[in-house]
Structure 1
Amino acid sequence: MSPTDASANAGTAPIADIGSDPSPGTSENSTNTGVGLGACSEDTLELRLPEELLALFEEERAGTGGEQHQAEGTAQLSSATSAGDDLLDRVADWGPTATPAGVFHLVPVCVERDVPLVGRWMNDPAVAAFWELAGPQNATEEHLRAQLTGDGRSVPCLGVLEGTPMSYWEIYRADLDPLARRYPARPHDTGIHLLVGGITDRGRGLGSTLLRAVADLVLDKRSACTRVVAEPDLRNIPSVAAFLSAGFRFSAEVDLPAKRAALMVRDRSLRDLL
Structure 2
Amino acid sequence: MSIHPDHRSDADAGTAAAAAAAADRPQADPTGDDTLDLRVDDLVALLAGERPTPPAAHDPASGLPSGFPTGFPSDLPSGLPTDSADGRLDGDLLDSVASWAPADTRFGAFRLVPVRLARDLLLLARWMNDPAVAAFWELAGPDAVTADHVRAQLEGDGRSVPCLGVLDSTPMSYFELYRADLDPLSRAYPARPHDTGVHLLLGGVADRGRGVGTALLRAVADLVLDHRPRCTRVVAEPDIRNTPSVSAFLSAGFRYAAEIDLPDKRAALMIRDRALRHVL
**Which amino acid letter does the alignment assign opposite residue 19 of structure 2?**
P
Q: 1:52/1:170 Cα in 2 relative to 1: closer, same or farther (>3 Å)?
A: closer
1:58 matched residue in structure 2:
40
TM-score of the two chains, using structure 2 as the length reference: 0.78
1:7-26 aligned within 5 A: 7=1, 14-16=2-4, 20-24=7-11
CA distance in 2 between counterparts of 1:212 and 1:47 reads 33
1:254 and 2:223 are equivalent in the alignment: no
2:234 matched residue in structure 1:
228
CA contact (8 A) 2:139 2:146 kept: yes
Residue 15 of structure 1, CA deviation: 3.9
Count of aligned pairs between the two proteins: 238
2:183 matched residue in structure 1:
177
Gaps of 5+ in 1: 1-6, 8-13, 25-41
CA distance in 2 between counterparts of 1:127 and 1:73 reads 30
**Which amino acid letter does the alignment assign opposite residue 269 of structure 1?**
A
2:272 matched residue in structure 1:
266
Q: Work out which of the residue numbers 87, 90, 95 in structure 2 matches 1:79.
A: 87
Give the ranges of 4+ consecutive aligned residues of structure 1 lying more than 4 Å apart after TM superposition: 44-47, 51-55, 59-62, 68-78
- Bigger radius of gyration among the two: 2
Q: 1:52/1:229 Cα in 2 relative to 1: closer, same or farther (>3 Å)?
A: closer
Q: Render the CA deviation track for 1:232-270: whole Å, top value 9, x for unaligned.
A: 111111111100000000001110011000000000000
Q: Work out which of the residue numbers 18, 26, 34 in structure 2 matches 1:49.
A: 18
Using CA pairs under 8 Å that are at least 6 residues apart, name the structure with larger relative contact order, 1 or 2: 1
Percent identical pairs in the alignment equals 60
CA contact (8 A) 1:23 1:173 kept: no
Q: Secondary structure at the match of 2:249?
A: helix
CA contact (8 A) 1:23 1:172 kept: no
Q: Secondary structure at the match of 1:273?
A: coil
CA contact (8 A) 2:101 2:111 kept: yes
**Which amino acid letter does the alignment assign opposite residue 79 of structure 1?**
G
Residue 79 of structure 1, CA deviation: 3.0
2:200 matched residue in structure 1:
194
Residue 220 of structure 1, CA deviation: 0.3
Q: 1:179/1:139 Cα in 2 relative to 1: closer, same or farther (>3 Å)?
A: same
Structure 1 or 2: more helix by fraction = 1
2:160 matched residue in structure 1:
154
CA RMSD of the aligned region, Å?
2.7
CA contact (8 A) 1:47 1:177 kept: no
Q: 1:180/1:99 Cα in 2 relative to 1: closer, same or farther (>3 Å)?
A: same
CA contact (8 A) 1:72 1:110 kept: no
1:90 matched residue in structure 2:
96
CA contact (8 A) 1:226 1:267 kept: yes
TM-score of the two chains, using structure 1 as the length reference: 0.79
Q: Secondary structure at the match of 1:115?
A: helix
